[in-house]
Amino acid sequence: MKILITNDDGIHAEGINILRKELSRHHDVLLVAPDREQSATSHSLTLTRPLRLFKHEPNYYSCDGTPTDSILLAVLKFLKNKKPDMIISGINHGPNMGEDILYSGTVAAAIEGAQLEIPSIALSMTDSNGADFKGAARFVSRFLKIYPDLNLTSSTILNINFPGKVKDGFKDFSFTFLGSRKYDDLIIERTDPRGLKYFWIAGSPVWEKKKGSDINAIHSGKVSITPIHLHFTDGGVLDRLISAKIKLPR
57-75 pLDDT per residue, tens? 999 999 999 999 999 999 9
Task: Report percent pLDDT > 70 for the chain.
Answer: 100
Q: How much is the average pLDDT of 142-168? A: 93
Pick one of 3.40.1210.10, 3.30.310.50, 3.40.47.10, 3.10.180.10 as the CATH number of 2-180+208-244.
Answer: 3.40.1210.10
| % of the chain with per-residue pLDDT over 90 | 76
Q: Where are the domains of the chain?
A: 2-180+208-244
Which of 15-19, 145-149, 239-243 is predicted with the least confidence, judged by mean pLDDT? Answer: 239-243
56-60, 110-114, 169-173: range with lowest mean pLDDT: 169-173
Burial 9-33 (b: 16+ CB within 10 A, else e): bbbebebbbbbbebbeeebebbbbb
CB-facing half-sphere around the CA of 192: CA atoms within 13 A: 6
Which pTM does this prediction carry? 0.92
pLDDT at 185: 65
Of the given ranges (15-24, 43-52, 137-146, 182-191), which has the lowest mean pLDDT? 182-191
pLDDT of residue 176: 96
Q: Is the pLDDT of residue 184 over 80?
A: no
Residues 156, 116 contacting (CB under 8 angstroms): no
Q: Read off the pLDDT of each residue in 162-179 and give the average, rounded to a whole number.
A: 89
pLDDT category, 80, cuts 50, 70, 90?
A: confident
Q: Average of pLDDT values for 106-111?
A: 96
Cβ atoms of residues 170 and 136 within 8 Å: yes
Q: What average pLDDT does the chain have?
A: 93
Per-residue pLDDT, averaged over 118-138, amounts to 95
Residue 150 pLDDT exceeds 80: yes
- As a whole number, mean pLDDT of residues 229-246 equals 90
Does residue 3 sit in helix, strand or coil? strand
Q: What radius of gyration do the chain's Cα atoms show?
A: 20
Measured from the Cβ of residue 239, the count of other Cβ atoms closer than 10 Å reads 10
Distance CA(222)–CA(215), nearest Å, equals: 10
Rounded Cα distance, 157 and 173, in Å: 17
